[in-house]
Structure 1
Amino acid sequence: MKLDALILAGGESRRMGGGEKGLLPLAGRPMICHLIERLRGRVGHVWIGCRSEQRGYRDLADGILEDAGDSTGPLSGISRALGALDCSHLLIMPCDTPLVSPVSLDRMIALAQAHPDSLVVVQDGDYLQTLHLIVPVAKAASLEAFRETGRRAVRGWLEAEGISSAGATVRRSS
């Protein structure tokens, strides 16, 4: 399995008054840097998905994947990455989760290795963490077909793939 990571940082941060959410300081460093540090050594490359005007993320990771003009939320960035990167699987995290547990990352990766054709999604109790997932690049066509219906919600795509928050043990689809 050739695993890369995509940190989603393209949001407009409206609930936080705008600005660059991932660049907010935490323990003297930008929040996103803590996440990048946790991902290093677990993935081949760390990429940041953001809008073209978000200049502060440059040089923090292995590269930037700018949102295309038709960006309509996280699925746009995920789709773009699945088509652009040279990996077999993509670990996706939002930029505002700097303290994600290394144990959780390792468990996600182990599950993806054990089930390489399946999506791996974190479930926290009864809540599905829809932006903490590992996606096989082979799911790119499924994602594009879902986006062509005009739907934009990550949860909707995951449900179309057979993943729901109906049971605490649901973590992947076949």
Structure 2
Amino acid sequence: MKQPLGVILAGGQATRMGGGDKGLLELEGQPILSRVIDRLAPQVAGLALNANGDPARLAQFGLPVIADSVADFPGPLAGVLAGLDWAAAQGAETIVTAAADTPFFPCDLVPRLLLAAEGRPHQMALAATPHPKRGLLRQPTFGLWPVALRDDLRAALGEGIRKVVIWTDRHGAGTAEFPVDGIDPFFNVNTPEDFALARELVGQNV
């Protein structure tokens, strides 16, 4: 099986941070997005950024920038679709997605997603973490996605489906559980308070 390509989802509008690109916020002099790239790049065969608007603002990262093909910011599934279309043009079979505002995600994300997808109807799996009250929480922006289902996803978006797990459950996706050791490894920067916490964690070498 070919190694997946990686797609970093940076297409959100960051409304709770006052707009702009959360991935460009700096932690100890390094953009969050650089930290995401450093974690994902060794795990995949190639990498692209999914982002909308002027791609020139992301030129410093030296990666292809692919925009949503579905209008009005319909959410992460639109970014997944953009990534699948890009990967299809590269002759890839799968992609793995990660969020651009999540600087501490696991360095073994890809192998564990691949393992979770074994024996499933499709090479599809979502990362998940345990929650003491809510059970296993799936992480909709951290997943393994098969290129073969890109037209199915396009049709689902056309039907108005926006929630990731509705589509992944439809296709029997696996779940890769990651432990929470102190902090959720998929902690993301959504608010100024989150950003302050991220700065503390970086200082602790998380």
Residue 99 of structure 1 corresponds to: 104
Aligned to 1:43: 44
Partner SS for 1:102 = coil
- Do the aligned residues in 1 keep the contact of 2:122 with 2:172 (CA within 8 Å)? no
The structure that has the greater radius of gyration is 2
Question: Aligned equivalents of 2:44 and 2:172: distance in 1?
Answer: 26
> 1:9: Cα distance to partner?
0.5
Match of 1:79 among 78, 81, 98: 81
Alignment TM-score, normalising by the size of structure 1: 0.84
1:156 aligns with 2:166: yes
What TM-score results when the alignment is normalised by the length of structure 2?
0.72
Correspondence for 2:152 = 142
Q: Is 1:171 matched up with 2:181?
A: no
Counting aligned pairs with the same residue, the percent is 27
1:131 match: 141
Give the direction of change, closer, same or farther, for the CA distance of 1:14–1:124 in structure 2 (3 Å limit).
same
Measured at CA, do residues 109 and 134 of structure 1 come closer, stay the same or move farther in structure 2, by a change above 3 Å?
same
| Contact 1:24–1:31 (Cα < 8 Å) also in 2 | yes
Q: Which runs of 5+ in 2 are unaligned?
A: 131-135, 177-206
Question: Equivalent residue of 1:93, what SS?
Answer: strand
Q: Which amino acid aligns with 1:67?
A: D
SS of the aligned residue for 1:58 comes to helix
1:114 deviates by 7.1
> What is the distance in 2 between the residues matched to 1:2 and 1:116?
19
Aligned length: 166
> Kindly tell me: are residues 141 and 23 of structure 1, through their superposed partners in 2, closer, same or farther at Cα, counting changes over 3 Å?
same
The alpha-carbon deviation at position 59 of structure 1 amounts to 3.6
Comparing 101-110 and 137-146, the one that deviates more: 101-110
**Which residue is 1:121 aligned to?**
126
Over the aligned positions, Cα root-mean-square deviation in angstroms equals 2.2
CA distance in 1, matches of 2:78, 2:167: 12
